[in-house]
């Protein structure tokens, strides 16, 4: 296709649009797989920025970070270098939901990603605004910028974050802009609509930042980090962090009264905001109005960087007018004299309905066009990075004429994330939660390398250095399993770990060879032994689903007769009439409902 008056500024294997968490992982994966890459970004200095809170990890998200690392991605290494404080969430619960969370120096994090991109010899960065996806008769051909410049590419990854036709909202003030005063990306949404893609509108937001020296630190609680060495990446040496990075306080009834008194000025309630926001990360005004019985809400004071004067107030996301935000802070212990450096704001943006994507993250109608991150309707740095990694891998495989990498729900949280996005209705910004993973005991953050590093090695993304680290850890785990498999006092040694209150430390007295294993290896083999029965049960469910995928569903089946079936699944069966359980799964029916339906069909077949 000809574009009169435009000039070509570069030709490459793949063009990545954006420079956030998804874009960085996509570009790095493509480059490491041997492809030339041009990154086009609105601001070449804003790489892997943290426009929201300066943290990586949390329930469901930490597992994703470990999986990115296991496949050969960069996020975990960046988080470890930038870490100010780290802890294990849900430590009192089982290993299926235990999750690392690190508070990061956002400037160090961005610097790490910039260095990683520069280290790759195949990545060039261009500053500009992409307005058009160029296509030929059969596939994508590149992108055009707002000034008419063109980048020619055989594959394109759009990782535009929340910038598509974005506008920021603070009270009565509405601006056409991206996060933190960045420009809004204009024109690209219209180009995607012309390609036949359906666009939706979402909303997210941030909390106010306050000046560090205006906080009464003696009136807020210090949140202690972990007392044992920890790290995200399997490549990092776990260490302790002692930087006082996080404190906490809470709102009170006076705070809530101010919010209620100004609800008519709240864009969320007066009709200014039209996009749907994240249910699991609501603004403070939303929390106060939805949960009037709650007398207080936690607020965490997170230091954004060692050399920054700004403190991020996690838990106070808001789009209320600035004067209301200031009045609100006066009522919160420790923030009575806080000076706002940047007010909280809401941001609305366009996204592409993700059910128009293949599980490879390639668009259905435009070969070679891949999407990743918040443009797909998700939220969060970790979810974006995971999609960027998979989109980059699959864009490379598309260029090589290979089958895409598609991870199953039983293989990775990344598989759950992408399967949910492309097969289920997305009515709000998607956030990963441990509850979304049916096989979360199999998908522990501690065994991500065992699950995925061989896959990363096979596709060519895991380096020799990373593979050597994995092989050493795998050998130690196999050694630990054998030690726990030996007989001890008339029974298998590992069986002692199933008793309440037991620990592998007790066995180390009788099996001194266990002392030769690394602490993380001891923890992993102890978990495997302690939860062996539950792990085997979930593995059996996975095998049963595989066996049942071809089982036929009677055409006249009334889903209301199936006990325990969710309403959403009943609606899908009525609407689409899937012929088999495998087809039902393709339509987004959850594995739990597939098992329920399969058991019902088996029982009724037996009665017949």
DSSP of 36-64: -EEEEES-TT-SS--SS-SEEE-TTHHHH
pLDDT of residue 2: 44
Report how far residue 45's alpha carbon sits from residue 110's, in angstroms, rounded to the nearest whole number.
Answer: 9
3-state SS, residue 14: strand
Domain's final residue, options 503, 535, 567: 535
pLDDT tens readout for residues 566-592: 888 898 888 888 888 887 877 778 888
pLDDT of residue 6: 64
Tell me, what CATH number does 482's domain have? 1.10.10.1800
Report how far residue 266's alpha carbon sits from residue 311's, in angstroms, rounded to the nearest whole number.
Answer: 24
Report how far residue 255's alpha carbon sits from residue 322's, in angstroms, rounded to the nearest whole number.
Answer: 15
Average pLDDT over residues 159-178: 96
pLDDT above 90 covers what percent of the chain? 81
Q: In what order do the strands lie in the sheet with 221-222?
A: 221-222, 246-250, 298-303, 310-314, 209-211, 340-342
pLDDT of residue 359: 92
Q: Which of 90, 82, 96, 85 is nearest to 58 (CA)?
A: 90
Do residue 65 and residue 97 come from a single domain? yes
Q: 115 lies in a domain? A: yes
Average pLDDT, the chain: 93
Distances (CA, A) of 215 to 113, 279, 311, 574: 31, 30, 9, 58
User: What's the pTM?
Assistant: 0.92
pLDDT band at residue 1 using 50, 70 and 90 as cut-offs? very low
Instruction: Name the domain count of the chain.
Output: 4
Q: 544 lies in a domain? A: no
Burial of 10 (0-12, 13-18, 19+ CB in 10 A): middle
pLDDT tens readout for residues 278-300: 887 899 999 999 999 999 999 99
Report how far residue 399's alpha carbon sits from residue 402's, in angstroms, rounded to the nearest whole number.
Answer: 8
pLDDT band at residue 5 using 50, 70 and 90 as cut-offs? low
114 DSSP β-pair partners:
none
Let me know how long the chain is: 608
pLDDT of residue 317: 96
**CA quadruple 436, 442, 444, 449: dihedral sign:** negative
Do residue 468 and residue 432 come from a single domain? no
Average pLDDT over residues 422-440: 89
Do residue 199 and residue 235 come from a single domain? no
Phi, psi of 210, deg, nearest 5:
-125, 160
Q: 541 lies in a domain? A: no
Tell me, what CATH number does 398's domain have? 3.50.50.60
Average pLDDT over residues 53-65: 96
Distances (CA, A) of 7 to 1, 140, 404: 13, 18, 33
Tell me, what CATH number does 261's domain have? 2.40.30.260
Q: Which of 40, 201, 204, 216 is nearest to 132 (CA)?
A: 40
| Helix 464-485 and helix 448-459, axial crossing angle in degrees, nearest 10 | 140
Q: 542 lies in a domain? A: no
Do residue 266 and residue 173 come from a single domain? no
Do residue 387 and residue 441 come from a single domain? yes
Do residue 387 and residue 481 come from a single domain? no
Do residue 333 and residue 361 come from a single domain? no
Q: Which of 101, 99, 102 is nearest to 444 (CA)?
A: 99
Report how far residue 182's alpha carbon sits from residue 167's, in angstroms, rounded to the nearest whole number.
Answer: 10
Do residue 158 and residue 91 come from a single domain? yes
Average pLDDT over residues 167-181: 93
Report how far residue 314's alpha carbon sits from residue 299's, in angstroms, rounded to the nearest whole number.
Answer: 6
Do residue 96 and residue 185 come from a single domain? yes
pLDDT of residue 301: 97
Q: 2 lies in a domain? A: no
Q: Give yes or no for residue 544 having a pLDDT over 90.
A: no
**Residue 299: which domain range?**
209-346
Average pLDDT over residues 362-372: 96
pLDDT of residue 607: 59
Q: 323 lies in a domain? A: yes
pLDDT tens readout for residues 15-40: 999 999 999 999 999 999 999 999 99
Q: Which bin fits 361, alpha (ψ -120 to 50), beta or left (φ > 0)?
A: left
Domain's final residue, options 535, 567, 588: 535
Report how far residue 493's alpha carbon sits from residue 486's, in angstroms, rounded to the nearest whole number.
Answer: 6
Do residue 331 and residue 397 come from a single domain? no
| Across 196-200, 244-248, 417-421, 443-447, least confident range | 244-248
Domain's final residue, options 346, 372, 397: 346
Do residue 418 and residue 520 come from a single domain? no
By DSSP bridging, strand 37-41 and strand 123-127 are parallel
Q: 274 lies in a domain? A: yes
Tell me, what CATH number does 580's domain have? 1.10.150.570
| Across 40-44, 179-183, 375-379, least confident range | 179-183
Do residue 33 and residue 89 come from a single domain? yes
pLDDT tens readout for residues 318-334: 999 999 999 999 999 99
Q: 540 lies in a domain? A: no
Place of tokens 């979304």: 436
pLDDT tens readout for residues 450-498: 999 999 999 999 999 999 999 999 999 999 999 999 999 999 999 999 9
């Amino acid at each position: 296709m000809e574009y009169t008056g435009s000039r070509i500024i570069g030709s490459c294997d793949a063009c990545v649009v954006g420079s956030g968490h998804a874009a960085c992982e996509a570009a790095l994966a493509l480059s490491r797989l041997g492809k030339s890459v041009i990154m086009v970004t609105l601001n070449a200095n804003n790489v892997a920025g943290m426009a929201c809170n300066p943290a990586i990890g949390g329930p469901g998200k930490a597992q994703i970070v470990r999986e990115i690392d296991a496949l050969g991605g960069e996020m975990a290494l960046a988080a470890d270098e930038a870490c100010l404080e780290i802890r294990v969430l849900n430590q009192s619960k089982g290993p299926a939901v235990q999750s690392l969370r690190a508070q990061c120096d956002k400037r160090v994090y961005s610097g790490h990603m910039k260095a990683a991109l520069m280290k790759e010899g195949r990545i060039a960065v261009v500053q500009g605004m992409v307005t058009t996806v160029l296509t030929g008769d059969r596939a994508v051909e590149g992108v055009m910028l707002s000034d008419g410049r063109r980048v020619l590419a055989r594959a394109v990854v759009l990782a535009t974050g929340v910038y598509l036709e974005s506008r920021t909202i603070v009270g009565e003030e509405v601006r056409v802009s991206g996060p933190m005063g960045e420009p809004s990306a204009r024109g690209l949404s219209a180009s995607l609509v012309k390609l036949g893609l359906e666009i939706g509108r979402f909303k997210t937001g941030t909390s106010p930042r306050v000046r560090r020296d205006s906080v009464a630190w003696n009136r807020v609680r210090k949140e202690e980090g972990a007392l044992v060495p920890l790290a995200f990446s399997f490549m990092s040496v776990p260490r302790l962090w002692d930087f006082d990075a996080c404190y906490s306080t809470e709102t009170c009834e006076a705070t809530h009264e101010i919010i209620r008194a100004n609800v008519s000025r709240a864009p969320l309630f007066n009709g200014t905001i039209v996009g749907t926001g994240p249910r699991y990360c609501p603004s403070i005004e939303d929390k106060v109005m939805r949960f009037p019985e709650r007398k207080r809400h936690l607020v965490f004071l997170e230091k954004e960087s060692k050399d920054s004067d700004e403190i991020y107030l996690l838990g106070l996301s808001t789009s209320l007018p600035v004067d209301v935000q200031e009045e609100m802070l006066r009522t919160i212990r420790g923030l009575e004299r806080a000076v706002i450096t940047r007010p909280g704001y809401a941001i609305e943006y366009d996204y592409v309905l993700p059910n128009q994507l293949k599980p490879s993250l390639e668009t259905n109608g435009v070969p070679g066009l891949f999407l990743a991150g918040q443009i797909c309707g998700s939220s969060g740095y970790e979810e974006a990075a995971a999609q960027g990694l998979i989109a980059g891998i699959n864009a490379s495989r598309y260029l090589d004429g290979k089958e895409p990498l598609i991870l199953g729900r039983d293989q990775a949280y990344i598989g759950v994330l992408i399967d949910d996005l492309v097969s289920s209705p997305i009515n709000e910004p998607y956030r990963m939660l441990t509850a979304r993973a049916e096989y979360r005991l199999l998908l522990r953050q501690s065994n991500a390398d065992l699950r995925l590093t061989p896959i990363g090695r096979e596709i060519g993304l895991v380096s020799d250095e990373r593979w050597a680290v994995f092989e050493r850890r795998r050998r130690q785990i196999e050694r630990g399993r054998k030690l726990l498999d030996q007989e001890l006092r008339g029974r298998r040694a590992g069986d002692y770990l199933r008793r309440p209150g037991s620990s592998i430390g007790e066995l180390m007295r009788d099996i001194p060879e266990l002392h030769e294993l690394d602490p993380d290896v001891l923890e992993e083999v102890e978990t495997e032994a302690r939860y062996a029965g539950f792990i085997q049960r979930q593995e059996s469910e996975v095998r049963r689903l595989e066996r049942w995928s071809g089982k036929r569903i009677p055409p006249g089946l009334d889903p209301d007769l199936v006990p325990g079936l969710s309403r959403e699944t009943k609606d899908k069966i009525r609407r689409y009439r899937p012929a088999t359980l495998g087809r039902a799964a393709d339509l987004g029916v959850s594995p739990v409902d597939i098992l329920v339906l399969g058991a019902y069909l088996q029982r009724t077949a037996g009665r017949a």
